[in-house]
Copies of this chain bind each other. A is one copy, B any other.
Amino acid sequence: MVTLKDVAKKAGVAVSTASYALNNNPKISETTRNMVLTAANELDYRPNGTARNLKKQKTETIGLFLNDLAGPYYSEIIRGVQKVVSDNEYDLVVCSASGGTDSTAYKFLQERRVDGAVILAPKITDKEIYQVARTQLPVVVLDRKLESDYIKYVLIDNVNGSYQAVTHLINRGYKNIGFLSGPEESYDNKERYEGFSRALNDNNFLFDENLLFKGDFTEEEGYKVISKFLKNDISIDALFAANDEMAIGAIQAIKENNYQIPNDIAVVGFDDIRLSSYINPPLTTVRHPKYEMGTFATHMIFQILQGAATESIVLPTQLINRESS
């Protein structure tokens, strides 16, 4: 491995001079700089990032931590984060939090391999986040309501979003509205259920516990749960799913049982993922500003990094009316 020392030797200067020259420090003369540059070129010198990071005590990279790297849901958020990170001339690495305590996410957070973290990974515990933040690492969470000096959140108005969705169903005359739930621990799921309940309450509907379907945010589970239900029973005329993936699974199940959407059963989802507008029938759903979640969150990281004040925020949602309801 060719190091700065080698370059310096070849150029006949001190390492410090070589370092300055390569970093375009103005105190190095044009001639010296050229000598160094030439030497570096000839040796095909590559600075060692690890060494630089250690010395400078920063990495100039922001980490984005996701439960599952492959989730299509994240696309827009990633795009938003990416944008702001590059605007600040930092680097972005995306890491997975799958694998629990010895996941890449934990390592990168604990070992300070990033200067800031955007977290959308329920697998990372609140405790861990608090601990990391105590080492003065700026963190913005997108999947829970957590706050401290170094922790801010960017959330969407889940409650209001589902409140609107359910109110919409009620206004259209649907009477027996089921709730297709995500994992019970999920913050988003809880909030969406909350909005659902409130809408029912405010309209003097009472909720039949039998119409609470337990899913896990996946299409498969949505399909399975609703298929099973429709085998015996068809006491619902509408279904509100806590996310689009499950809604899509449910639609599949409903169609296979030869019910019409939305005539027999209406379906509304949450998230407005790309697929939702392509399926048949196109899915009514609650849209939220994913890209902006990414940009806001990352902005906040840099604010904290610069010691400026920042406020956590909750972003609005919007009901997108399509043909499934």
**Chain B residues closer than 8 Å to A47, beta-carbon distance:** 110-111
Give complex CA distance A296, B282 in Å. Answer: 37
Q: Are A112 and B280 in contact (CB under 8 A)?
A: no
**Chain B residues closer than 8 Å to A76, beta-carbon distance:** 70
Of the residues B53, B61, B131, contact of A104 by C-beta under 8 Å: B61
**Chain B residues closer than 8 Å to A104, beta-carbon distance:** 61, 91-93
Q: Are A51 and B54 in contact (CB under 8 A)?
A: yes
| A: number of interface residues (CB 8 Å) | 48
Give complex CA distance A99, B90 in Å. Answer: 12
Asked if A37 is at the interface of the complex by the 8 Å CB criterion, the answer is no
**Chain B residues closer than 8 Å to A52, beta-carbon distance:** 111
Shortest beta-carbon distance, A141 to chain B, in Å? 19
7 nearest A-B residue pairs (beta carbon)? A49-B111, A91-B104, A70-B75, A93-B93, A94-B94, A50-B54, A70-B79
> Which residues of A line the B interface, CB within 8 A?
1, 44, 46-54, 59, 61, 69-72, 74-76, 78-79, 82, 86, 91-96, 98-99, 104, 107-108, 110-113, 131, 134-135, 248, 274-275, 278-280
